[in-house]
Amino acid sequence: MLQLALAALLAGSLIAGGTDGDDKDKKAKAQAQQPIESILVADRISEDDPINDTYALGRTERIPLKLWLGYGRAVDDEAYDPSGNEVDLPYNVNAQRLFVGAQINVINFENFSVGVGGQLNVAQNELESDAGTLDSGMGLQGAKAYGMVRGRTLGVHGGYHFDLGPDGDDLAEDEAMNSDGVDAWFVGANFDYPAQMFRLFGGIDYFNRDFGDETSGSIEDDEIIVFNAGAGLRISWVEIGAAALLRANIGINRLGLPTGGGHQGSVAPYLILSPPALPVAISVKGAVMSEYADYGYSLGGGADLKTTSGFTVMASLGF
C-alpha cells in the first residue's frame, strides 16, 4: 500500500509539473506574439500629410495638430520652347522659398479624419542678365487656407490661395515680382498607402487663377493641373523615395509666349527621417515650389521652365 501511495504522489507531481510547463509555454508564445500584433497595428496607421503637395513632409501618425517649416532654393537658366526644344533664358533665375504652416484635425478617427489648415509663403525671385539684375527681395508671396477630408488611404481637399505679393505698378526699375499678382482657388484628391516597408502615393491638384481684366488678351482664367505619383522604401524610421510630377498650364504659360499654355514633367527624390522617440520629422526633397506646386528635376516639357537644380528642406512637428 505504501508503494502504491508513493507511486500516486509521484504521478501527481509529474502531472502538475507538466501543467506548469504548458502555462510557461503559453506565456512565452503570448509574449512572442505581442511584437507581431504591434506591427500589425502600425500597418493600419495611414499617412496623414496635410495636403498632396506636401507629399514629402513627414510623419505617419494621425495626430490632432501638425506644424511645419520649410526652405527651398533653385538656380536655373534654361527653358523649353513650344516645340520642346531646350533654349537659354535671357537671364539666370535665382529663387528662394520659405514657408510655414499648420493643420488641425477637428475629427480624428483611425479610418476617417476632417481637418483645416493654412500655409504662409515667403519668396524671392532674382533675375540676373547682362543688362543688370532685377530682384524682388525676400517678401510675402501668398497664403493658402484649406479644408480636407480623409479616409484610410483616400483624401480630398480644397481651398483658396491669397496673393500677398507686391503690386506690379509700384515696382521700381530694378525690382521684380515674387508672385503672379492674382488669387486662385484649388481642389485636389490623393491616395497614400503605407505598409510596413513600402509606401505608394499619388494624386491630382487643380488650381484656377482668375486674372480677369489684368491680362492684355482674351484669357481671363489660367488653370494649372499637377499630377504626382511615387513610391518610397521604409527602413526603420528612414524613408527614401521619389515622386514623378507632371504639371500643365492651360491658358497662360510660364514664358509669356502666345501658345496658350505649357507643360513640364519632372522627378523629385526625397528622404524623410522620423525618429519614433521624437515628435519631429526632417525631410529633404529635390524640388522647389514655384507658387502653387513643385518643380522637380526636369525630364521634358514645352513652353515652360527647364529646372535642373533645387532642393527643399522641411521640418514638421506633431502633437
Whole-angstrom distance, CA of residue 306 vs CA of residue 80: 6
* Range(s) of the domain holding residue 184: 44-318
Asked whether residue 13 is assigned to any structural domain, the reply reads: no
Query: For position 62, which CATH number holds?
Result: 2.40.128.130
pLDDT per residue over 248-290, tens digit each? Answer: 988 766 665 555 678 999 999 999 888 888 888 888 999 999 8
Cβ of 145: how many Cβ atoms within 10 Å? 12
Asked whether residue 115 is assigned to any structural domain, the reply reads: yes
Confidence (pLDDT) at 59: 38
Kind plus residue range of the DSSP H or E element containing 209 = strand 198-210
Cβ of 310: how many Cβ atoms within 10 Å? 24
Confidence (pLDDT) at 15: 39
Helix (H, G, I), strand (E, B) or coil at 169: helix
H helix intervals, the chain: 2-43
Asked whether residue 230 is assigned to any structural domain, the reply reads: yes
Structural domain count of the chain? 1
Q: What is the pTM of this model?
A: 0.79
Asked whether residue 302 is assigned to any structural domain, the reply reads: yes
Whole-angstrom distance, CA of residue 266 vs CA of residue 31: 48
Asked whether residue 10 is assigned to any structural domain, the reply reads: no
pLDDT < 70 stretches in the chain? 1-62, 211-221, 252-260
Asked whether residue 62 is assigned to any structural domain, the reply reads: yes
Asked whether residue 12 is assigned to any structural domain, the reply reads: no
Asked whether residue 1 is assigned to any structural domain, the reply reads: no
